């Protein structure tokens, strides 16, 4: 029983960390994230990854090189990834897309309307790709 709970928590934390980093990237690239949200996502993503893989696992993060920073995080999360992580990734990306659409619907004339539409589009497409990838 305890091992099953640990397995579920590690998976959920792995998926949550991935969602935090993807959301950080998408929100910052579109320019709709205030600085406090960017720092919160960065801190939450780092904390989730550290708890999921442990300090020993975090030591395996490759040193900076020519690879994209999300690729370095993916290498660390590979051993901790499971079905719960897929569910967390799918749910988190769907939630991000729905929230972006809800904010856009509440104030369609906002300055960041195009950015919110891009966030919703990328998040929902990412969620559908994650769902399909989890199935195969």
Please give the pLDDT value at position 66: 65
Residue 60 pLDDT level (bands cut at 50, 70, 90): low
Mean pLDDT of the chain: 83
- Report the predicted TM-score, pTM, of the whole model to 2 decimal places: 0.81
- Total structural domains in the chain? 1
Please give the pLDDT value at position 36: 94
Per-residue pLDDT tens over the stretch 24-49:
988 888 888 889 999 999 899 888 88
Domain containing 96 equals 2-135
Per-residue pLDDT tens over the stretch 66-124:
666 666 677 777 777 888 888 998 999 999 999 999 988 888 877 788 888 899 999 99
- DSSP labels, 70-108: HHHHHHHHTTT--HHHHHHHHHHHHHHHHHHHHHHHH-T
Indicate whether 54 pLDDT > 90. no
């Amino acid at each position: 029983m305890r091992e099953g709970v640990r397995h579920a928590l590690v998976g959920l934390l792995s998926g949550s960390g991935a969602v935090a980093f993807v959301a950080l990237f998408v929100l910052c690239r579109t320019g709709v994230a205030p600085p406090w949200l960017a720092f919160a996502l960065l801190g939450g993503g780092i904390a989730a990854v550290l708890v999921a893989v442990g300090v020993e696992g975090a030591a395996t993060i490759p040193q900076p090189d020519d690879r994209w920073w999300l690729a370095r995080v993916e290498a660390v999360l590979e051993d901790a990834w499971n079905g719960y992580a897929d569910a967390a990734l799918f749910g988190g990306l769907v939630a991000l897309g729905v929230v972006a659409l809800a904010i856009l619907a509440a104030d369609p004339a906002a300055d960041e309307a195009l950015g919110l539409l891009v966030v919703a589009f990328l998040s929902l497409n990412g969620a559908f790709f994650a769902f399909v990838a989890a199935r195969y």
